[in-house]
């Protein structure tokens, strides 16, 4: 090996070490060590301790504390924990402070994680805000709750799980159900309890809890006067519609329903087929020619139905669950319930297409899409009956009363996000939206209008409709009561947020011009650039200011990308160049897509620029990659400009 090669090898090893260190930092969204002052809670013996206003006790203590020493009477607050673990040393103080700041709150729960035998804290359980339907389905509260002692008159009530009916031998769950009968719970969004798992082994963290939890699917009595209108928009797909209505007729034991099909302009031939199909399957068919406008078609169908419950259904769905209508209708009839959705599968298997809508930083998404339903994810996100911020109108049931209170589907949104907007409106009215994971349909998605992400025109339309959604409902930007703020804002998985995700990017308020020269003749397409986001963020910095987001990924094709240092620049129309301090980010999606390339995990580059940090105009976006092994300098630019208006 020559001297030059040895030097390059040394430089490469140093660069690789730096790269791997940064990659490890960004990949591990959550990993820390147990505090030395943490309070140990034994799991195999009774524990009861009074500190300040709080009595801390475990489930073992309930059966041995004599009535005259009832902790629910002797202390103002009670912290009830289960299993062996550790409390944060200031847990009691933080819980007492929460109760003091929220005098209306009678009980609360906190977040928790797992403590390994080596006292490393991993696998955080970042819980949703109070979710009464989820709680009825299973104990999502976990291993810690706190309450004002006056709420429970005696320990025997919490120690009598059979009295709660569905809690089995879980006294903490029984206590949660007892408290839930009286008032909603508060949620202190801090990890204050560390459950000790002595049998922990390295595993896919997404699958924690698989097979350990029993989920309850309550079936409620159907009101005597309940009648359902099944409302189906359809155009030029009579065969697809026939499959849908045939499955309804075959799978529905509840019979007090009508099917209404609204056609927005099929060909004469297809219209004739729809008419013939209506004779066979007994649906009412309305031909209403118009441009595709999902909201208007749904609202029109609702007007044509006399039913007091409305089920909006895509024509490209097929019912799997025999008693689907009974389960959805009974749920929709419960007090306080808004929209009720079903779990949707992709065709020919158990891959999830929809298990509830989650509202993240990057917008409303179908979490877990494309994942097998054979496993439990994030402690049962695809199991049980769960509260969610929204459900897809591909299968959505709602009472007519709620539908009218919410104003129907928003006709300002013709194609996308109209179902999300409708669910936001229900939530604003105080109704709770629910996904029934025991109601299954196949969804032959996008047969009618294609994949929204195919071309730039559709992407632009989606971006505009998403902006309209948040203009209409600004408080929901990057906010979802059933999705913890410290969970990722950019993934279909449930995992802790990578620190440098877009939602955590600080807004850069000042940019500097530099003497850099960027010439078109120097462009080298060995440096691959792909745009991810290039858009105005009207609610950046938690709504405090407007900004522009540049988000792209870049790597050097055919070479080791870790041997390059990268930098972003903006080039104005007058040729001047502006230095852009973009943040380098972990991009597992790029690693998956460009699997044949070397070290592309850290290929993301992003920045939020304050709207007033740049003069109005059009700016080219350039990237530079400098080799640490030689004088090689690669530059390239995006084909799309940043427009400052």
Specify the CATH architecture of the domain 228-476: Alpha-Beta Complex (3.90)
Q: How many angstroms separate the CA atoms of 598 and 561, rounded?
A: 6
Of residues 537 and 252, the one with the higher pLDDT is 252
Whether the Cβ atoms of residue 345 and residue 373 lie closer than 8 Å to each other: yes
Percent of the chain residues topping a pLDDT of 90: 70
> What is the pLDDT averaged over residues 480-487?
92
Cα–Cα nearest to 436, from 380, 383, 394, 480: 383
Separation of alpha carbons 443 and 318, rounded Å: 7
- pLDDT tier at 264, thresholds 50, 70, 90: very high
Q: How confident is the model at residue 158 (pLDDT cuts 50, 70, 90)?
A: very low
What is the C-alpha to C-alpha distance for residues 360 and 485, in angstroms, rounded to an integer? 9
| Sign of the C-alpha dihedral computed for residues 126, 132, 133 and 137 taken in this order | positive
Mean pLDDT score, 58-71: 68
Reported as a pLDDT band with limits 50, 70 and 90, residue 73 is low
Phi, psi angles (nearest 5°) of residue 328: -70, -40
Whether 12 and 559 have beta carbons less than 8 Å apart is answered as: no
pLDDT of residue 20: 93
The answer on pLDDT for 7 being more than 70 is yes
Q: What class does CATH assign to 502-644? A: mainly beta
Fold matches, 228-476 and 502-644 = no
CB 590, CB 600: distance < 8 Å: yes
Q: Inform me whether the pLDDT recorded for 499 exceeds 70.
A: no
Fill in the DSSP letter of residue 221: P
Residue 68 has pLDDT above 60, yes or no: no
Spell out the residues 6+ positions from residue 303 whose beta carbon is closer than 8 angstroms to its own.
none
* Euclidean distance between CA atoms 175 and 185, whole angstroms: 12
219-261 pLDDT, tens digit each: 999 999 999 999 999 999 999 999 999 999 999 999 999 999 9
Q: In this predicted model, what pLDDT tens digit does every residue of 510-536 receive, in sequence order? A: 999 998 999 999 999 999 999 988 888
Asked if residue 543 has pLDDT above 70, the reply is: no
List Cα–Cα distances, 478 to 40, 358, 474, 537, 634, in angstroms.
36, 10, 9, 12, 37
pLDDT (average), residues 83-105: 96
| Residue 606 CA: distances (Å) to CA of 350, 524, 640 | 36, 21, 15
Q: Is the pLDDT of residue 204 over 60?
A: no
Q: How confident is the model at residue 462 (pLDDT cuts 50, 70, 90)?
A: confident
Question: For tokens 């989650």, what's the residue?
Answer: 358
Distance CA 161, CA 330 (A): 26
Q: With a cut of 90, say whether residue 588 has pLDDT above it.
A: no
Rounded average pLDDT over 113-127? 91
CA dist 311 and 590 (Å) reads: 39
How confident is the prediction for the chain on average, in pLDDT?
89
Q: Taking residues 70-90, what's their average pLDDT? A: 86
The confidence score (pLDDT) of residue 212 equals 65
Which pLDDT score, from 0 to 100, does residue 454 have?
57
Mean pLDDT of 370-379: 89
Collapsing DSSP to helix, strand or coil, 603 comes out as coil
Residue 200's pLDDT is what?
63
- Which of 100-109, 288-297, 310-319, 586-595 is least confident? 586-595
Q: Given the structure tokens 């604003």, which residue do they identify?
A: 428
* Helices vs strands, H then E, count in the chain: 16, 33
Please check whether residue 133 is in contact with residue 434, taking contact to mean a CB–CB distance below 8 angstroms. yes
Residue 65 has pLDDT above 90, yes or no: no
Q: Judge whether residue 16 has pLDDT over 50.
A: yes
- pLDDT value of position 500: 63
For residue 473, pLDDT beyond 90: yes
The pLDDT score that the predictor gives to residue 155 is 40
594 SS3 class: coil
Task: Give the per-residue pLDDT at 168.
Answer: 64
- The reported pLDDT for the residue numbered 157 is 46
Is CATH 3.90.550.10 what the domain over 32-202 is classified as, yes or no? yes
pLDDT confidence bin for 159, thresholds 50/70/90: very low
Would you state the pLDDT for residue 496? 77
What pLDDT does residue 51 have? 87
**pLDDT of 294 higher than 70:** yes
pLDDT higher than 60, residue 208? no
Counted residue by residue, the chain has a size of 645
pLDDT more than 70, % of the chain? 90
Pairing assessment for the beta strands 432-443 and 337-345 based on DSSP bridges? parallel
Q: What is the mean pLDDT of residues 324-342?
A: 98
**SS3 (DSSP) at 103:** coil
User: Does the pLDDT of residue 203 top 70, yes or no?
Assistant: no
Residue 423 confidence (pLDDT) above 50 = yes
Hey, what are 285's tokens?
């068919």
pLDDT of 453 > 60? The answer is no
pLDDT at residue 452 tops 50: no
Structure tokens that stand for 118 in this block: 């080596």
Q: So where are the chain's domains? A: 32-202, 228-476, 502-644
Q: With 0-12 CB in 10 A as exposed, 13-18 as middle and 19+ as buried, what is 7?
A: exposed
3-class SS at 300? Answer: helix
Q: What is the pTM of this model?
A: 0.84
């Amino acid at each position: 090996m020559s001297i030059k090669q040895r030097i390059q090898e040394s430089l490469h090893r140093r660069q690789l070490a730096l790269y791997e260190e940064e990659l490890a930092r960004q990949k591990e969204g959550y990993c820390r060590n147990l505090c030395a002052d943490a309070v140990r809670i034994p799991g195999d013996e009774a524990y009861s301790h009074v500190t300040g206003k709080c009595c801390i006790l475990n489930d073992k203590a309930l059966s041995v504390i004599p009535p005259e020493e009832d902790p629910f009477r002797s202390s103002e607050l009670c912290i009830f924990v289960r299993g062996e673990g550790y409390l944060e040393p200031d847990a009691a103080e933080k819980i007492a402070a929460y109760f003091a700041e929220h005098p209306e709150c009678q009980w609360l729960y906190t977040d928790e994680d797992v403590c390994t035998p080596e006292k490393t804290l991993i696998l955080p359980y970042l819980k949703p805000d109070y979710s009464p339907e989820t709680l009825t389905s299973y104990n999502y509260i976990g291993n810690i709750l706190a309450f004002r002692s006056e709420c429970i008159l005696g320990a025997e009530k919490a120690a009598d799980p059979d009295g709660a009916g569905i809690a089995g031998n879980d006294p903490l769950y029984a206590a949660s159900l007892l408290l839930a009968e009286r008032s909603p719970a508060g949620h202190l969004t801090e990890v204050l309890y560390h459950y000790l798992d002595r049998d922990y082994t390295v595993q896919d963290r997404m699958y924690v809890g698989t097979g350990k939890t029993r989920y309850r699917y309550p079936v409620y009595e159907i009101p005597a006067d309940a009648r359902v209108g099944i409302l189906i928009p359809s155009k030029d797909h009579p065969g697809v519609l026939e499959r849908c209505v045939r499955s309804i007729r075959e799978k529905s034991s509840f019979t007090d329903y009508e099917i209404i099909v609204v056609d927005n302009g099929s060909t004469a031939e297809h219209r004739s087929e729809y008419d013939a199909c209506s004779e066979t399957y007994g649906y009412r068919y309305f031909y209403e020619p118009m441009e595709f406008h999902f909201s208007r078609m749904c609202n029109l169908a609702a007007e044509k139905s006399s039913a007091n419950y409305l089920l909006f259904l895509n024509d490209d769905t097929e019912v799997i669950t025999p008693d689907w209508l009974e389960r959805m209708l009974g749920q929709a009839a419960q007090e306080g319930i808004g929209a009720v959705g079903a779990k949707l599968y992709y065709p020919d298997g158990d891959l999830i297409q929809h298990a509830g809508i989650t509202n993240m930083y990057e917008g409303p998404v179908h979490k877990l899409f494309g994942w097998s339903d054979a496993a439990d994810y994030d402690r049962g996100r695809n199991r049980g009956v769960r509260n969610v911020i929204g459900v897809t109108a591909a299968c959505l049931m709602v009472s007519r009363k709620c539908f009218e209170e919410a104003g129907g589907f928003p006709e300002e949104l013709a194609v996308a996000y109209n179902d999300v907007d409708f669910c936001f409106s229900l939530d604003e009215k105080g109704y709770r939206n629910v996904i029934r994971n025991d109601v299954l349909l196949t969804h032959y998605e996008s047969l009618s209008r294609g994949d929204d992400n195919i071309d730039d025109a559709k992407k632009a339309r989606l971006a505009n409709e998403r902006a309209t959604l948040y203009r209409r409902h600004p408080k929901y930007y990057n906010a979802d009561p059933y999705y913890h703020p410290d969970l990722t804002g950019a993934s279909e998985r449930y995992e802790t947020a990578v620190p440098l995700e877009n939602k955590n990017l600080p807004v850069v308020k000042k940019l500097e011009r530099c003497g850099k020269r960027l010439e078109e003749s120097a462009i080298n397409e060995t440096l691959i650039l792909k745009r991810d986001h290039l858009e105005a963020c009207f609610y950046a910095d938690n709504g405090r200011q407007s900004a522009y987001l540049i988000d792209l990924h870049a790597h050097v094709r055919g070479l080791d990308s870790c041997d390059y240092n990268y930098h972003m620049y903006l080039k104005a129309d007058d040729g001047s160049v502006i230095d852009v301090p973009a943040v380098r980010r972990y991009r597992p999606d790029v690693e998956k897509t460009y699997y044949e390339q070397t070290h592309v995990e850290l290929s993301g580059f992003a920045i939020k620029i304050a709207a007033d940090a740049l003069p109005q105009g059009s700016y080219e976006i350039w990237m530079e990659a400098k080799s640490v092994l030689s004088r090689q300098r690669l530059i390239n630019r995006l084909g799309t400009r940043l427009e400052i208006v």
